[in-house]
Structure 1
Amino acid sequence: MVIDVPSLRHTIAADLRAQITTGSLKAGERLPSEPRLASDYKVSTPTLRNALALLQAEGLIEKIHGKGNFVRHPLRRLTYAGGRLTPDADLHVTIRTTNLRARGDLIPLLKVPSRTPLTEFLCLTHQGESPHSLARIYVPRDLAPAELPWRPTGLAATQETVTARLPTPEDASTLRISSTQAVLAITRVSSDTAGRVLKAARLVLPGDRANALFTTHHTNEERGTEG
């Protein structure tokens, strides 16, 4: 008979998880320092960090650089449908605007020559003090609006690509999530009748707080051909 013995990191994670779920460690509370926890559990610092990584991947704690590990507040789940996120009164957005030039994968994404002037809007959604989701919106600078939200004129078509993937190091750092936590990466490209890209948006939604909803509308002709 094989007995499955939990590893030290799973045992530590289970103990801290129980403290969080029972309220002994409350939302927003800072955990003891990593050296203190390692000493309390009589393990090495790497083992302790592996245990904390499990809780971070579950969305129970977050690590804030220079401050420590904190218990997360319960996460709001949003639904992405038709190019929009379901609004939530508890969330707020900060927007940072940067002028740059097209390079790398932005060139084929916006169908522009290299070094074409662009404006990037970095939109970071927060729940309280915690980052929730992010979007990077790219617009040719001659079309860039003064502020968001903005719907370009002459819009003819929008194409969406949805991918489940691991976060980039920048995504993980910005959203304070584990590098092993899956995210929904949504790319929306909007163009006019001539095929010129008016706006391209890249959304990153951690999988523990977002759903994607897709609805198909059938015409009468399509209904008539169904067997």
Structure 2
Amino acid sequence: MPSLRHTIAADLRARITTGRLKAGARLPSEPQLAADYKVSTPTLRNALALLQAEGLIEKIHGKGNFVRRPLRRLTYTEGRLTPDVDLHVTIRTTNLRARGDLIPLLKVRARTPLTEFLCLAHQGERPHSLARVYVPRDLEPAELPWWPRPGRAETRELVTARLPTAEEASALRLSTSLAVLAITRVSADITGRVIEVARLTLPGDRAEALFTTHHTIEEMRMER
């Protein structure tokens, strides 16, 4: 038997998907919805959290819960995000020293001077993606970085799904219960020196990663 929160979520989901609740519409207040469904406010909030995790509604602090507008899908492939049109990117630069897991990722000594580029991209008013790029300071580019970084000979990528940190949820305007796609990319030059570590955080309700493997003719013959 479905729980109360799942029953409420199913009813609101149906109202959204059938158009009775339009994109951009503000839902009644949480106390009003709790009264309408004859449940406690915590139970009502648990139901709303299910819809937030599905990307159907969003909660805007101080304003209430709103039906989300259709989301543009993001695809991460070959080190880039598509679509990448109409992007506005703000970049904050910070000088710091290597510590924690940046030391083995960058293959540097503790406290090696680094430059961090914190990049937040928007499409219109909606946050698009968040990236932190770390570069050894002796390799710091004269201009702001646009990756993939030139000179790379090898790139390794680790893709994980996890819950966002409080900072990520705030920057990307996400519920803390909605998973994000976290990509750590390590790029090295022809000598094996790591020239960049990039950490990309994508909203899990509209992001996917695409990987393509290219086989050479020699490899295909060996597989036969």
Q: With structure 2 as the length reference, what TM-score do the two structures score?
A: 0.86
Structure 2 SS opposite 1:142: helix
* Identity %, equivalent residues: 79
Q: Summarize the alignment of residues 49-88 of structure 1 with structure 2, pairs less than 5 Å apart.
A: 49-88=45-84
Measured in 2, the distance between the counterparts of 1:117 and 1:55 equals 44
Partner of residue 156 from structure 1, selected from 153, 157, 164: 153
| SS state at 1:181 partner | coil
Residue 152 of structure 1 deviates from its aligned partner by 4.3
Structure-1 residue corresponding to 2:132? 136
Give 1:190 deviation, angstroms: 1.2
CA RMSD of aligned residues (A): 2.3
* Aligned partner of 1:209 among 189, 206, 218: 206
Answering whether residue 172 of structure 2 is matched by residue 175 of structure 1, we say yes
Task: Report the more deviating stretch, 181-190 or 168-177.
Answer: 168-177
Change (3 A) 1:33 1:117: farther
- For residue 208 of structure 2, what is the amino acid of its counterpart? N
Verify the 8 A CA contact 2:181 2:204 in the aligned structure 1. yes
Question: 1:59–1:177: 8 Å Cα contact kept in structure 2?
Answer: no
- More moved, 123-132 vs 136-145: 123-132
Q: For residues 127 and 150 of structure 1, what CA distance do their matches in structure 2 show?
A: 19
Give every structure 1 segment of 4 or more consecutive aligned residues whose post-TM-superposition deviation is greater than 4 Å. Answer: 150-153
Aligned equivalents of 1:112 and 1:129: distance in 2?
38
TM-score by length of 1: 0.85
Indicate conservation of the 8 Å contact 2:163/2:180, yes or no: yes
Residue 11 of structure 1 deviates from its aligned partner by: 2.1
Structure 1 residue aligned with 2:183, among 167, 170, 186? 186
Structure 2: how far apart are the matches of 1:102 and 1:156?
A: 23
Number of equivalences: 223
Deviation, structure 1 residue 162: 1.9
